[in-house]
Structures are given as C-alpha cells and as structure tokens.
C-alpha cells in the first residue's frame, strides 16, 4: 500500500515552468536590444548566467541542498538576465560577474535561498554596483555607433581600451544633464529633436527594446504568471505624475510616453516589480506596491542623482511590502460586510 | 542665555515625560503578577510534583522568581520547555527527566482493598470510592501524575498509556510523511 | 431565468467522468461477509444492539442512535452476526472502530417494514423516523439529515438547495442516480420542502451533466412541483455546500457560522433526498448506496452496493489493472487512500478509485514557496494559503488562526495549482488537528487546575473544621474537669484551671495517635488478606472455564476495548509476571 495525502490530481505546474516563461517573455526585448543597441548584450547574458549558476551551485553545496533540483528551477537565471539587461551593455565582465554573484550569494542565499529573499536580488546587484562603480555604470554606448561584435567583446573583457566615444549617457541621463546645465534656452522639444539620441517617441533604439519588454510582459499577464495590478499601478502612477508635470511645464518635463519607454520603466513594471517573492501578495497590496514603485522611480530619475530610479524604487517598496501586506489583507468568504 | 534656554527646555521635557510616565504607571497598573499566571497557563496542571514543587502554581512562582530552571516539568515535555523559553526569553534546555507519553492510572479492581489512601493522594479528585469499597479512576479526569502509585499498600494501581483513538487522532506533519498501517488479515 | 452568482477561485481539473457515466447502475453481488461500522455519521457512536451469534434480517436495527446528532445503523442483509469487534475503518487514521461483522445467509430476507404514515405524523415523528432509518448526508460529511431539517428559530427559510453538482473528478454516482431515479429524488425533496417550508427550492447540477439536468427537469414537471433545476457552471468546488449556496443565491455563509440555516438556506445531497424518500415511502433504512468504481480499472461503472461490503471485493467488479497499488475513497481532490483494502464501504463512500502511479504520478519534490499567490487566486474561501502555510510549517498555530485557517474547507485547490508542489492542504489539516488537540489539552488542564484548587480548599476547610472541633472538645472537657474539680473540692484553686487545659491537649493528641495506630493495623491486616487472596484466588480465576464463560469473558473484553480501555485488566496479567 502507498500513502499520500490528497489532492491526488495536480496541475502541471512547477517553479521551473514559471521561471522559464519569464525568460521566454524577456526574449522580444533581448532581440530588440541585440539588434538595435548591440549584440554585446548576448555576451553579458552569458556571463551573468554563468556567474549566477556558479554562485548558486556553490551556495547550495554550502547549505547542503540538492543541487540538481534547485539549479534547474531557473530562478538564478531570471536574476542573471535581469542583471544583464539593467547593466550597461559594454560594462566590463567583472562588474556583471561581481554583481550577479553578490545578488545570488548575499541578496538570495544569505536570506535562505529561493522564496526567502526580502529584496529583489537583481535590483540589489544594480544598487550595489551603481554605488560602488558610479562612473562605469553610467557609461552607455551611443546608439548610432556601429561596432563589430568582436570589438564589443574585446571591450567587455578589457582587451581594448574603453574609448570615451563609446561612453555616452542614456537618453534619460542626457536629458537630465542638459536640463541641469541651467541653460534656460534649452527646451525639451528641442532636445528630443536630436535624433542621435532620441528616436520617435523615446530614446533611439531603446524605445523598441522597451516595446519588446511590453510585449513580453503582456504575454506573461496573458499566461497569468503575473497579475495585472503591479504593472497597471506602476505605469499608471508614473504616467499620472509625469503627465501632470508635463502639462504644468512642458519645457522642463518630458512627456509621459517618453518616460514610459525610457530606462527601465517597462522592464521594471512587468518583470522586476512583479517579482512575487519580494513584492506584495494581496490584490490591494499589489496596487499600492506598483503605484509606490512607479512614483518613486519617477521622482528618483527626474529629481535624484542617478540616471534611473527603478532599482531604488523597487528596493524601497520591497522594504515596505510586509507592512503593506499586513494592512491590506482581503476580507474572506462570508466576512466581506463584517469588516 | 542660550544655555539657560536649552536647560529649561530639557527640564520641561523631563517634567512632562516624567508626569506622563507616572500617570501611565497609575492608570495602567497591573494587578497581581501576570507572569505567574502566564507561566501557569503553559504548565500542564498535572499537579504531579515531579518538578520538586508541590503543584504547578508553586513551580510557576519559582520560575517567575528565577529560582529554578524551566526544564523540570516532564509532563509538559520539550514543547512546554520551548513555550516557557519563548515566554521568558530564556534558553531552551533539554528536559531533566525523560519525556513520557500521556498516561492514565488504572486500578485493578480485584485487588483493591478500599483503603482510600490513593483517594487522599490524588491531587485532582479523580478517584472515587469509599472506605472498604472498591475504588476506581475517572479516566477523563486523571492527569497521569502517578501520585497514587506509592501510597497504595497492595500495589493495585498501574499506569497505562493513552492510546490513539479517533477522538484524539491527529494529522501528521507533512514533511515526516504519513505512516503506513500494516495489513491486517481479513476478519 | 435564475440569476447565477460566482464564487472566487476554484479550478478546472480534468473531469474523468465519461469513463463511468455511460453505463447504467448495476447491483453488486452479495459479498462474502459484511463489516458494518457503527460510527458512520457525525455525532454519537450508535450502541450495538446485537451480539455474536444473533440472526439478523435485512434492515434490522443493529446500532441504536446515541443522542440527537447520531443515526441508527442496520443490517444490510439477512444472516448471522459473526462478531461485534474492532476493525479498521475507512478513515485516513487507519484506526479501528467497533463494527458488526455479518455472514450473509444468502436469503436476503427483509425484516418486516412498512411505509411511514406521513399524513398523520408531526415533524418530530418524521425526524425520529429518519434518525431510526439512519438517513445521513451522503454527499461526504455524513451529517444526520434530521438534524438539518429544523429551520433556525428566528431566520426565515428562504431557499432549500438540493446538491447534484458533484464537482469532484471521477465521481458519477449522483449523476447516475439523478438519471435513473429522478422521481424519487424529487419526492424526497418535496418531503424536505414540507418540513422546512422554504420560499423556493433549487436543484443545482453542474452543466457537464446535461442528461441529469434533463431527467430532473422532467421529473419535476411530471410531479407538478415548482422546483427550479439549475445548471451551474462546471468549476471545482462548485459542489461545496457554501459554494453552491453562493452560486445559486449570492449568499456567503461565513466559516464560523455553525449552520447554513442561520442564513435561511439549507443544502442536501440528491442521494440524501433519495434515501429519505425510500425511508418514508417504503420504510427502508439506509443499507445500500450507489458507488462509482473507476480509476485504474478495465470497466469503470456505478454499482448499488450494500453498506459493509469490503472494498477489495467490490473493486474486483470493475476489474482493476494489475498495477493498482491502492484504493482511493472519495474523489482525487478530497479523498484519501484507505489504510487497507479490506475496509468496508460506509454510507459516505461515494466513489472508489483504483490508484496507480500511471494515473496519479508520485509528486515531485516539494520546493520552497515563491509566494506566487496562485493558491490565493484559486481559494474558494478567499484565504491566503501561502501565509497559513508559512505559519503552519513553523507550527505557529496562533498565527494560522489569525489567517482564518478554520475557514479552510480542505478542497485542495491550493495544492492543485501550487508550482512548488507544496502539500498545502496537508499542512492545514495538520495545523487544525494540532489546534484542536491543544484546545482539548488546555481544557483538561483547566479542569485539573480547578479540581486541584478545590481539593486544596476542601482540605484547608476540613483541617480548620477539625481543629475547631478539637478545640471545642478540649474546651468542653476542660469545663467539665473544672466543674468536677469544683464539685470535688468545695474551694477551687483559681490557678489550676489553665493547668487542666494543658493536660487535656496531650490527651486529645494521644487519642488521635491511638486511632491512627488502629487504622494502620487494620490496613496491615487488609494487606495481608489481599496478598493471601491474590495468591490463593488468582490462579483459579482463569482456569476451568466453561466455553460459555469464556465467551462471556471475551465479550466483556470487547466492551472494555470499545469503551476505550486499551489494556486488559491487570488481574489477568500480573500472576504470570509474578
């Protein structure tokens, strides 16, 4: 006789399936990235994946957990890919490597591994690196610059000098710097007309990468891997705030579309703020979490000192997620009118 | 002048806070010693005296005063030690004596001479009987303290483990897995 | 058309109903023996009214209801009672309970039975008749039906719901019952309607059973009743009483509410209505039921089977495949693997599924929870299973109660969808039974404390009373002595009185001492006697018994065990040890 508890029927679902689908959803964005910005991103993805699996295997061994089971769950790969996608594509290999190892070892396993991390590991890696290596984390390749893949690899591995021309700022950063110059003649409209940096509605090239993330994110929502609350609240609050400021002074503030398709907004809204482990779990909590992250991201990127605010916004909201969850517990069946 | 202002402000703050604390101490005064009650609520109330104190309450008082360890109560088991440690912020220690499953006393009614000594020993009045009449134990009220064993002059009382029945059966912790029941022959 | 409501969550597992619902109900052959557990419903365990060797007839009472929430048990066929003994019952614990084992005589002869005269009966008589006929909820829990037929005192009864949803995969016994015996279900429903006097009667059937819906609709029309047959959307657990109430009426009955009647609604399973009607119209007690035989078998179908039929004998009718490694009682979502294959069919056995690894592959290893929230998405009671799991796993039971663990109906939706393969429901069952155990222990401890404190109080009082009595006696004696002294010596010395007092006290003490010594001597003597008696009498005690006496002894033993005294009395053990 055999003994097992009910239910005996189980849906075909697993952690690795969830993680695989997240990776699949990232692919449209990655293709746009490799096509329009540079194939170097593919190299960075490989470096990050390798580093993540290495660190994961090491930590699992240390903690005496079954290697095969946890290595194949795919959670480390999702973290690695998010790190590669948020770091500058021509960042030196050791920076991506260090960031990824830090994320897996300190942000994930020190807290107890899969499912236990209070902060999004990828965003911890981003925050640590931007604080430790601010200059290199702000060097983004000019999109118009044509560079062969081999040359890009040489730069990543430090075999070729890091030419200054390679290192421009992101569209977001360029705009902020320009506005900071204090030249009152500058006008957002004029800035956006600069087709070297800006494309049809946001950063040149980057706008299509963001569109790729949007497509992937919508597919994730369609597959019910993520729920609608976080992305909607994130995008909604960011749109509202940027829209209000843009209407108030279109000369000094960029339009909402620009903000939506710039930097990490869409990647953050669909892939980072939706991380279930470190985010909120109740429906109302998710709305608050998403809205808070969207607002903070806008405030930090427009008024703060960093090129983009998504990472810090998400980390700050991670910090408050348990309290939000505690305060937003939904009423249960039969008790809705009694609370 | 500035220094005087600063001192005045600090003094004022001290007076206000002191008054608030004093008021709170009177307003929210706790009657009795809630700690003893809380400890007693954790103890199993077998009143067996195995801890060396005459009953659960004296033991609770001794723990509250910090006179003794928290691991002296065998009927409470390791779980009781754990809960006391959580309540008092003390360290968990292994139990002094060995942990026993819950038991009840059973009187062999053929041997009982009706001496009433066990009735006097039972701390919870769980034995009924009268002088020169057969005694018996009310199983539901027996705490399994074993205090009735030594006084019995004819050794007619023994302890029996309380078996698992459908009324006290519990689902097991999932990680351990569910135990198999050996196949019995068909009736 | 009736406006339907939705309940939160739920899942749509593969239904596997078509395997067994395309053949008519057949009648199972007489099994080699029948093991009828006495405890088959919620509430008190019925008391056996037969003993080994008794001849019984089909439908004869063998277990008498004990208390209001309890239902009688009957002999499923005619034959001889082999024994009244402890046998494993179909329960996940695998524990024994008292059963009546009957060897059928093959005649299947009915006891005299007659229709119940409804026209002249008061509701209380009907309840008593249903209880006597052993009518219990056949949908799963086995709650005695008569206990649910009284409206709440101050809430108007709005709806009576007849539950034909049968949402669990594989099970089709209610489907077939509705197809083949719709008229009797409708008549039973009318009986319940007459007792409860609801404003309307709704019959809810999942829309994956169109034949059953049609049959029930036809029966309702033919009998001229104004019941509404409603096809409800197929979604597990739509057949849960509270979910069906929600779908049909929009009412949400809180988990803390003891009876749905407090919300003006009552739910009965179709098979309960059917058996109630049989009990009233034909005087037949519940001695058989429809069981779906399915799963890893060659011929899945439904059979009408006598209560007490051993499951392995029954399952053979459906020809199980050789790789069958267990029997599941109930559906695959909420059922359980029976502890051994000889356990009998009971009133709540709606389905037997032959288990095999091919049908139900072993579960993948449990992974940590990633808080994906899938479980909260499907929980029909809108709980937060992952939070409850977290605390149940840590054995922090207080917190699980804050997250409303007792509202969990153990439907299994959360475990079904969990990507980490966590046996969530199992954690909740564990936490619930631990909380119950703790409450029992707490209650016992409180009682023990109260008794201990009372004993102390009584001892103090007795001591005080005794001291007072002694003092009074001493005083009286002193007074007497003083009076004597006064009488003897015409001139009493004023200084002597206190000395007399001092003398009397030791006198009293020595009196107590001698009393004690006498008592000790008596005890000593009694001990000697007892010892002698034990040595002399005991060996004789169990020797030279007539078979009749031995049987009586065995019976006493059985009763003892039934009463929960697991150890045999020491008298028969100790002499061997000495």
Mark yes or no for CB contact B179/A1 under 8 Å. Answer: no
Which H/E stretch holds residue C107? none
- Whether A68 has its CB under 8 Å from any CB of chain C: the answer is no
**pLDDT average, residue stretch A265-269:** 93
Residue-wise pLDDT for B12-33, tens only, equals 999 999 999 999 988 887 776 6
Mark yes or no for CB contact B141/C447 under 8 Å. Answer: yes
Per CB-CB distance under 8 Å, the chain B contacts of C565 are: 106, 139
B176 domain residue, yes or no: no
pLDDT at position A184 is 53
CA–CA distances in Å: residue B107 to residues A161, B134, B152, C568, C574:
94, 9, 10, 12, 13
pLDDT at position B175 is 60
- Whether A17 has its CB under 8 Å from any CB of chain C: the answer is yes
C244, C254, C256, C400: which to substitute to probe chain A, counting the most A Cβ within 10 Å? C254
* Interface contacts B/C by beta carbons within 8 Å: 129
Whether C340 has a pLDDT exceeding 60, the answer reads yes
The C-alpha atoms of residue C448 and residue C440 are separated, in whole angstroms, by: 12
Q: If we measure between CA atoms, which residue out of C62, C8, C66 comes closest to residue C37?
A: C62
Q: Cis peptide before A7, with omega less than 30 degrees from 0?
A: yes
Mark yes or no for CB contact B113/C529 under 8 Å. Answer: yes
Shared-domain flag, residues B76 and B43 = yes
* Interface contacts A/B by beta carbons within 8 Å: 10
Whether C173 has a pLDDT exceeding 80, the answer reads yes
The C-alpha atoms of residue C386 and residue A48 are separated, in whole angstroms, by: 31
Mark yes or no for CB contact B178/A1 under 8 Å. Answer: no
Whether A167 has a pLDDT exceeding 70, the answer reads no
The C-alpha atoms of residue C501 and residue C487 are separated, in whole angstroms, by: 17
B4 domain residue, yes or no: no
How are beta strands C288-295 and C351-355 bridged, if at all?
A: parallel
Looking from the CA of C231 toward its CB, the CA atoms found within 13 Å total: 10
* Most confident by average pLDDT, A304-313, C27-36, C92-101, C493-502: C27-36
B169 domain residue, yes or no: no
**Residues A224, A225, A229, A234: is their CA dihedral positive or negative?**
negative
Map out the domains of chain C with their CATH numbers: 108-337 (3.40.50.11540), 367-488 (no CATH)
Residue-wise pLDDT for C471-528, tens only, equals 999 999 999 888 888 888 765 454 544 444 545 555 555 656 676 777 677 777 777 7
Which residues, numbered 258 to 277 in chain A, qualify as contacts with chain C under a Cβ-Cβ cut-off of 8 Å?
276-277
pLDDT at position A206 is 85
Interface partners of A (3+ CB pairs, < 8 Å)? B, C
Helix spans in C283-384 (H) = 311-315, 374-378
Q: Which two tokens stand for residue C247?
A: 């779908």
Whether C17 has a pLDDT exceeding 50, the answer reads yes
Shared-domain flag, residues B152 and B107 = yes
Mark yes or no for CB contact A334/C257 under 8 Å. Answer: yes
Q: Which residue of C has its CA nearest to A68?
A: C365
Mark yes or no for CB contact A334/C252 under 8 Å. Answer: yes
**pLDDT average, residue stretch C142-171:** 89
Shared-domain flag, residues B73 and B119 = no
- Give the range of the structural domain holding residue B54, as residue numbers without chain letter: 34-88
Give the predicted TM-score (pTM) of the model.
0.83
Looking from the CA of C2 toward its CB, the CA atoms found within 13 Å total: 18
Q: Which two tokens stand for residue C299?
A: 């011929």
Inter-residue contact C557 to C83 (CB < 8 Å): no
Give the closest-approach CA distance of C534 to chain A in angstroms: 47
* Interface contacts A/C by beta carbons within 8 Å: 142
B68 domain residue, yes or no: yes
pLDDT at position C525 is 74
> What interhelical angle do C182-196 and C123-132 show, nearest 10?
130
**pLDDT average, residue stretch C431-446:** 91
B24 domain residue, yes or no: no
- Whether A72 has its CB under 8 Å from any CB of chain C: the answer is no
- SS3 (DSSP) at B41: helix
**pLDDT average, residue stretch C255-263:** 82
pLDDT at position A189 is 66
Mark yes or no for CB contact B170/C434 under 8 Å. Answer: yes
Looking from the CA of C556 toward its CB, the CA atoms found within 13 Å total: 8
Burial of A288 (0-12, 13-18, 19+ CB in 10 A): buried
Shared-domain flag, residues B78 and B38 = yes
Q: Which residue of A has its CA nearest to B172?
A: A5
Q: Which residues of A touch B (CB under 8 A)?
A: 1, 3-5
Confidence of residue C349 (pLDDT cuts 50, 70, 90): very high
CA–CA distances in Å: residue C410 to residues A13, B95, C321:
20, 36, 30
B98 domain residue, yes or no: no
Mark yes or no for CB contact C420/A7 under 8 Å. Answer: no
Confidence of residue B37 (pLDDT cuts 50, 70, 90): confident
C323, C367, C402: which to substitute to probe chain A, counting the most A Cβ within 10 Å? C367
pLDDT at position B140 is 85
Helix, strand, coil shares of chain C as percentages rounded to 5? 45, 15, 40
**Residues B40, B43, B45, B46: is their CA dihedral positive or negative?**
negative
Looking from the CA of B67 toward its CB, the CA atoms found within 13 Å total: 11
Inter-residue contact B145 to B123 (CB < 8 Å): yes
Per CB-CB distance under 8 Å, the chain C contacts of B151 are: none
Confidence of residue B186 (pLDDT cuts 50, 70, 90): very low
**pLDDT average, residue stretch B119-130:** 89
Give the closest-approach CA distance of B89 to chain C in angstroms: 17
Mark yes or no for CB contact C440/B126 under 8 Å. Answer: no
Selecting from A14, A277, A332 the residue whose C-beta is nearest the C-beta of C364 gives: A14
Give the closest-approach CA distance of C253 to chain A in angstroms: 5
Q: Which two tokens stand for residue C489?
A: 């010596």
Q: What is the mean pLDDT of chain B?
A: 84
Within 10 Å of residue A61's Cβ, how many Cβ atoms? 10
B149 domain residue, yes or no: yes
Mark yes or no for CB contact A4/C412 under 8 Å. Answer: no
Whether C576 has a pLDDT exceeding 50, the answer reads no
- The region of weakest confidence among A48-57, A133-142, C555-564 is C555-564
Mark yes or no for CB contact A281/C371 under 8 Å. Answer: yes
Inter-residue contact B174 to C70 (CB < 8 Å): no
pLDDT at position C540 is 47
CATH code (residue B136) = 3.30.70.20
Largest CA distance in chain A: 84
pLDDT at position A50 is 96
pLDDT at position C570 is 40
**pLDDT average, residue stretch A36-49:** 91
Q: Which residue of C has its CA nearest to A65?
A: C367
Shared-domain flag, residues B107 and B156 = yes
The C-alpha atoms of residue C392 and residue C427 are separated, in whole angstroms, by: 6
pLDDT at position B180 is 39
Burial of C445 (0-12, 13-18, 19+ CB in 10 A): buried
DSSP code string of C478-535:
HHHHHHHHHHHSSS--TTHHHHHHHHHHHHHHHHHHHHHHHHHHHHHHHHHHHHHHHH
- The region of weakest confidence among A132-136, A273-277, C164-168 is A132-136
Counting every residue, how long is chain C? Answer: 578
B109, B181, B182: which to substitute to probe chain C, counting the most C Cβ within 10 Å? B181
pLDDT at position B182 is 43
Q: What is the mean pLDDT of chain C?
A: 86
Look at B37 and C470; give whichever has higher pLDDT. C470
Per CB-CB distance under 8 Å, the chain B contacts of A5 are: 174, 178
Cα angle C321, C324, C326; round to 5: 150
Per CB-CB distance under 8 Å, the chain A contacts of C386 are: 281
The C-alpha atoms of residue B105 and residue B116 are separated, in whole angstroms, by: 15
Is the backbone of residue C142 left (phi > 0), alpha (psi -120 to 50) or beta?
left
Selecting from C255, C360, C417 the residue whose C-beta is nearest the C-beta of A8 gives: C360
The C-alpha atoms of residue A255 and residue A243 are separated, in whole angstroms, by: 6
Q: If we measure between CA atoms, which residue out of C32, C111, C114 comes closest to residue C75?
A: C111
Backbone angles phi, psi at A13, to 5 degrees: -145, 145
Selecting from A2, A334, A336 the residue whose C-beta is nearest the C-beta of C255 gives: A334
pLDDT at position C533 is 64
Long-range contacts of B133-138 (CB under 8 A, 24+ apart): B134/B107, B134/B109, B135/B107, B135/B109, B136/B107, B136/B109, B137/B104, B137/B105, B137/B106, B137/B107
Give the closest-approach CA distance of C271 to chain A in angstroms: 24
Whether C544 has a pLDDT exceeding 60, the answer reads no
CATH code (residue B42) = 1.10.15.40
Inter-residue contact C395 to C432 (CB < 8 Å): no
Look at A126 and A39; give whichever has higher pLDDT. A126
The C-alpha atoms of residue B41 and residue B34 are separated, in whole angstroms, by: 10
The C-alpha atoms of residue B140 and residue C444 are separated, in whole angstroms, by: 8
C357, C373, C413: which to substitute to probe chain A, counting the most A Cβ within 10 Å? C373
Selecting from B178, B179, B181 the residue whose C-beta is nearest the C-beta of A5 gives: B178
Mark yes or no for CB contact A15/C417 under 8 Å. Answer: no
Number of domains making up chain B: 2
Distance of CA A48 to the CA centre of its chain: 14
Confidence of residue A338 (pLDDT cuts 50, 70, 90): low
pLDDT at position A145 is 63
pLDDT at position C535 is 59
Within 10 Å of residue B110's Cβ, how many Cβ atoms? 18
The C-alpha atoms of residue C293 and residue C20 are separated, in whole angstroms, by: 8
In C345-456, DSSP assigns E strands to 351-355
Q: Which residue of A has its CA nearest to C6?
A: A333
Q: Which residue of A has its CA nearest to B174?
A: A5
The C-alpha atoms of residue C203 and residue C182 are separated, in whole angstroms, by: 11
- The region of weakest confidence among A2-6, B2-6, B108-112 is A2-6
Mark yes or no for CB contact A1/B180 under 8 Å. Answer: yes
- The region of weakest confidence among B108-112, C130-134, C349-353, C428-432 is B108-112
Within 10 Å of residue C71's Cβ, how many Cβ atoms? 30
């Amino acid at each position: 006789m055999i003994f097992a508890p009910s239910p005996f029927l189980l849906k075909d679902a697993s952690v690795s399936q969830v993680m695989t689908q997240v990776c699949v959803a990232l692919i449209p964005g990655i293709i746009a990235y490799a096509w329009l910005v540079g194939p170097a991103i593919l190299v960075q993805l490989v470096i990050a994946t390798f580093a993540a699996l290495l660190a994961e295997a090491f930590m699992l061994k240390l903690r005496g957990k079954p290697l095969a089971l946890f290595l194949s769950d795919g959670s480390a790969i999702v973290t690695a890919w998010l790190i590669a996608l948020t770091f500058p594509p021509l960042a030196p290999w050791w920076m991506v490597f260090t960031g990824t190892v830090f994320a897996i070892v300190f942000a994930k396993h020190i807290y107890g591994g899969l499912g236990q991390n209070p902060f999004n590991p990828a965003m911890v890696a981003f925050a640590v690196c931007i604080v430790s290596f601010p200059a290199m984390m702000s060097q983004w390749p000019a999109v118009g610059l044509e560079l062969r893949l081999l040359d890009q690899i040489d730069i990543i591995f430090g075999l070729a000098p890091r030419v200054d021309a390679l290192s421009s700022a992101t569209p977001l950063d360029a705009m902020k710097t320009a506005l900071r110059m204090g030249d009152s003649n500058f006008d957002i409209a004029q800035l956006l007309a600069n087709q070297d940096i800006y494309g049809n509605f946001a950063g040149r090239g980057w706008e299509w990468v963001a569109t790729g993330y949007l497509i992937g994110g919508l597919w994730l929502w369609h597959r019910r891997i993520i729920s609608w609350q976080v992305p909607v609240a994130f995008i909604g609050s960011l749109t509202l705030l940027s829209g209000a400021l843009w209407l108030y002074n279109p000369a000094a503030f960029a339009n909402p579309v620009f903000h939506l398709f710039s930097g990490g907004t869409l990647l953050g809204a669909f892939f980072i703020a939706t991380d279930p482990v470190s985010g909120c779990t109740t429906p109302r909590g998710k709305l608050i979490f998403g809205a808070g992250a969207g607002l903070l991201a806008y405030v930090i990127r427009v008024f703060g000192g960093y090129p983009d605010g998504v990472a810090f916004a998400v980390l700050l909201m991670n910090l408050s997620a348990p309290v939000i969850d505690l305060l937003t517990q939904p009423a249960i069946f039969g008790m809705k009118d009694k609370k | 002048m500035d220094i005087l202002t600063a001192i005045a402000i600090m003094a004022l703050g001290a007076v206000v806070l002191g008054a608030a604390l004093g008021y709170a101490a009177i307003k929210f005064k706790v009657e009795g010693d809630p700690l003893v009650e809380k400890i007693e609520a954790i103890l199993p109330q077998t009143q067996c005296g195995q801890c060396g104190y005459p009953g659960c309450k004296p033991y609770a008082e001794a723990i509250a005063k910090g006179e003794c360890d928290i691991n002296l109560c065998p009927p409470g088991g390791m779980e009781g030690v754990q809960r006391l440690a959580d309540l008092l912020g003390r360290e968990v220690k292994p139990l002094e004596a060995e942990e026993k499953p819950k038991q009840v006393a059973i009187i062999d009614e053929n041997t009982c001479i009706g001496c009433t000594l066990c009735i006097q020993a039972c701390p919870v009045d769980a034995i009924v009987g009268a002088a020169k009449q057969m005694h018996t134990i009310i199983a539901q009220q027996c705490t399994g303290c074993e205090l009735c064993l030594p006084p019995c002059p004819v050794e007619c009382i023994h302890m029996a483990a309380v078996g698992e029945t459908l009324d006290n059966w519990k689902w097991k912790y999932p990680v351990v897995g569910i135990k198999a029941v050996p196949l019995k022959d068909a009736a | 058309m009736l406006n339907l409501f939705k309940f939160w969550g739920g899942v749509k597992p593969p239904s596997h109903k078509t395997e067994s619902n395309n053949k008519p109900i057949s009648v199972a052959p007489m099994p080699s023996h029948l093991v009828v557990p006495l405890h088959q419903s919620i509430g008190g365990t019925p008391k056996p009214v037969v003993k080994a060797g008794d001849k019984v007839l089909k439908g004869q009472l063998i277990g008498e209801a004990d208390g209001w929430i309890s239902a009688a048990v009957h002999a499923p066929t005619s034959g001889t009672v082999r024994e009244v003994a402890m046998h494993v019952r179909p329960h996940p614990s695998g524990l024994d309970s008292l059963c009546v084992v009957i060897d059928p005589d093959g005649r299947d002869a009915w006891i005299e039975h007659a229709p119940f005269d409804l026209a002249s009966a008061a509701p209380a008589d009907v309840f008593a008749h249903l209880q006597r006929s052993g009518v219990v909820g056949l949908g799963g829990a086995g709650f005695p039906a008569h206990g649910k037929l009284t409206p709440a005192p101050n809430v108007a009864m709005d709806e009576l719901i007849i539950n034909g949803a049968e949402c669990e995969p594989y099970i089709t016994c209610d489907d077939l019952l509705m197809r083949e015996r719709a008229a009797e279900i409708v008549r039973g429903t009318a009986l319940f309607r007459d007792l409860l006097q609801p404003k309307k009667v709704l019959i809810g059937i999942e829309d994956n059973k169109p034949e059953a819906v049609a049959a029930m609709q036809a029966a309702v029309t033919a009998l001229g009743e104004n019941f509404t047959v409603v096809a409800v959307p197929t979604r597990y657990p739509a057949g849960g009483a509270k979910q069906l109430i929600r779908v049909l009426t929009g009412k949400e009955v809180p988990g803390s509410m003891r009876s749905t009647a407090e919300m003006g609604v009552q739910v009965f399973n179709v098979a309960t209505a059917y058996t109630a009607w049989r009990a009233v119209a034909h005087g037949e007690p519940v001695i058989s039921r429809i069981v779906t035989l399915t799963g890893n078998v060659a011929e899945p179908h439904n059979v009408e089977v006598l209560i007490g039929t051993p499951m392995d004998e029954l399952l053979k009718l459906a020809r199980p495949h050789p790789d069958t490694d267990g029997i599941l009682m109930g559906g695959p979502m909420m059922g359980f693997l029976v502890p051994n294959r000889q356990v009998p069919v009971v009133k709540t056995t709606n389905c037997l599924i032959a288990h095999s690894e091919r049908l139900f592959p072993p579960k993948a290893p449990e992974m940590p929870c990633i808080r994906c929230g899938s479980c909260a998405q499907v929980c029909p009671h809108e709980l937060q299973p992952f939070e409850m799991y977290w605390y149940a796993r840590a054995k922090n039971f207080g917190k699980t109660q804050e997250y409303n663990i007792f509202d969990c109906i153990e439907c299994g939706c959360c475990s079904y969808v969990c990507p980490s393969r966590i046996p969530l429901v199992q954690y909740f069952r564990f936490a619930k039974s631990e909380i119950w155990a703790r409450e029992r222990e707490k209650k016992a401890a409180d009682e023990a404390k109260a008794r201990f404190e009372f004993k102390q109080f009584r001892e103090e009082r007795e001591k005080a009373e005794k001291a007072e009595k002694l003092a009074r006696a001493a005083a009286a004696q002193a007074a007497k002595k003083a009076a004597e002294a006064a009488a003897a010596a015409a001139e009493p010395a004023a200084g002597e009185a206190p000395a007399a007092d001092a003398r009397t006290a030791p006198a009293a003490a020595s009196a107590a001492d001698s009393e004690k010594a006498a008592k000790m001597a008596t005890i000593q003597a009694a001990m000697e006697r007892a010892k002698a008696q034990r040595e002399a009498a005991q060996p004789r005690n169990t020797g030279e018994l007539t078979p009749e006496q031995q049987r009586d002894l065995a019976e006493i033993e059985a009763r003892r065990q039934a009463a929960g005294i697991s150890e045999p009395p020491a008298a028969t053990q100790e002499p061997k040890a000495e």
